[in-house]
Structure 1
Amino acid sequence: MTTALIVIDVQQGLCEGEYAGVGWEGMVERINGIARRVREAGLPVIFVQHESASDFLKFGSPRWQLAPGLDVHASDLQVRKTTPDSFHNTDLAAVLQTHDVKELIICGMQSQYCVDTTTRRALALGYPVTLVSDGHTTVASGELSAAQIVRHHNQTLAGIISFGPRVTLQAAADVLRGGA
């Protein structure tokens, strides 16, 4: 079965200032390690980038660019999106179909928005998901720390059974290494 790595919204605007995901630098290093193993296995790496009509993540702007230190290769694929759902009004489903992808590895930003929504949509579309448990981050909310939000979403997403396909949590170091 073909697996693809989906890296969601790891962009400069979400790695600086008030929207900087907690620990994003370490997350980028972990994503780079996974992406290297995915490429070595001959599998697709897909970078999803959010864009907004406002200047914050305007297409082509400095904040829209992928984060510093993120290892991107010419062979990697890119998908642009305008909602938290990486499938909604994008060509992601077509890209996955073209590459005969049947399973997804998901990581990126922000845990409670785009990572959560894309993971749930992937399940609804029939894709089993490996969620990289230490490969997504966010900013603190008024009530919860970023770490609490990440833990909550790991637990919640891994507990969803109603779609059929499931979410499997896996640490970045174990992805494509057979670890649990």
Structure 2
Amino acid sequence: MTRHPIHSTHPSPQSPPCLTCRVLLVLDVQVCMLSSPKKGGVPSSETVYRNIEHILNRARSAKQPPRIIHIRNSGESGDPDAPNSPGWQLVFPPLEHEFVIDKLKNNAFAGTKLAELIPRDAELIVIGMQSDYCVRATCSAALARGNTVILIKEAHATYDRIEVWNGGMVTAAHDVESEIEVELEEAGVNLLCMSDVPHLFSDR
């Protein structure tokens, strides 16, 4: 059965030009992944929640706010992020002028209208879930289209990884996140820290 993305009630991709040429992409920041670890959230959910909230507040209050786009993953029936389930909901409610795009694949550009909202010369700031899935795939796709891509450390996260080909050993989530940062930086992504956030949305 073919699944179709849920249509958002937020602005359609036929929008005015992005005057700042800067986009904040909030990937899969959904209840199922940012709840407490005991309820299925990522191990660093508390820290990542606080950091993403801080980044969103900075972006929204900037003199020239970036275009803010929320990406929401739609899983299969029975999945924690099945459409319209509690876990599918966005943790931070989008403001009226912000965009929401639903996706079915790791690459947020695949099968969506995201490319219509992000000019190829735009600077793309990425935060969200999961480091080794949507974050990796979407950053890679953005680099391939020519975007400048920034990934904020400690504002993206994932789960522990079970190494099925290595006796079931477990690689801790923070080590997986670090691996992805190294991989993406080598590919051309710019890594910034939370200490850089105060200057992130200014004229630099």
**Does TM, normalized by the shorter one, top 0.5?**
yes
8 Å CA contact 1:79–1:90 kept in 2: the answer is: yes
- For residue 34 of structure 1, report the CA deviation from its aligned partner: 1.4
Deviation at 1:38, TM superposition (A): 1.9
Question: Is residue 2:195 matched to residue 1:173?
Answer: yes
Distance 1:44 1:28 in 2: 20
Whether the 8 Å contact between 2:121 and 2:148 is mirrored in structure 1 is no
Q: Whole-Å Cα distance in 1 between the matches of residues 40 and 190 of structure 2?
A: 27
Q: Which amino acid aligns with 1:47?
A: H
Match of 1:58 among 55, 59, 82: 82
* Structure 1: tracts of 5 or more residues without a match: 161-165
- Cα deviations by residue, 1:7-44 (Å, 9 ceiling, x for unpaired): 11111112345741121122122112212222223211
- C-alpha separation between the residues in 2 aligned to 1:74 and 1:171? 29
Tell me, yes or no, if structure 1 residue 144 matches structure 2 residue 171. yes
Structure 1 residues 71, 176: CA separation in 2 closer, same or farther (over 3 Å shift)?
farther
Q: Distance in 2 between matches of 1:126 and 1:14?
A: 30
Deviation at 1:107, TM superposition (A): 1.0
Q: Which residue, 59, 82, 94 being the options, matches 1:38?
A: 59
Structure 1 partner of 2:72: 49
Give ranges in structure 2 of 5+ residues lacking alignment.
1-19, 163-169
SS in 2 for 1:105: strand
Instruction: Give the 3 Å change call, closer, same or farther, for CA 18–36 of structure 1 in structure 2.
Output: closer
3-state DSSP class of the match of 2:138? helix
- What is residue 30 of structure 2 aligned with on the other side? 11
Q: For 1:156 and 1:137, how far apart are their aligned partners in 2?
A: 15
For residues 76-132 of structure 1, give each alpha carbon's deviation from its aligned partner in whole angstroms, at most 9, with x where no partner exists.
2111000101000011111224xx861100011111011101110110111111101
Q: How far apart are residue 65 of structure 1 and its match?
A: 0.1
Corresponding residue number in structure 1 for 2:16: none
- The CA distance in 2 between the partners of 1:55 and 1:12, in whole Å, is 15
1:175 match: secondary structure: helix
Q: Which of 121, 143, 154 is matched with 1:134 structurally?
A: 154
Return 133-142 or 21-30, whichever deviates more.
21-30
User: In structure 2, what is the Cα distance between the partners aligned to 1:110 and 1:21?
Assistant: 9
Aligned residues: 170
Which AA in structure 2 matches 1:14? Answer: M
Q: Is the 8 A contact 2:121 2:146 kept in 1?
A: no
Asked if 1:78 corresponds to 2:100, the answer is yes
Alpha-carbon spacing, 1:123–1:176, altered in 2? closer, same or farther (3 Å): farther
Instruction: Give 1 or 2 for the bigger CA radius of gyration.
Output: 2
Residues 74 and 93 of structure 1: CA distance in aligned 2, closer, same or farther (over 3 Å): same
Measure, in 2, the Cα distance between the counterparts of 1:108 and 1:15.
Answer: 9
Structure 2 counterpart of 1:5, one-letter code: L
What's the RMSD between the two structures over aligned residues? 2.0
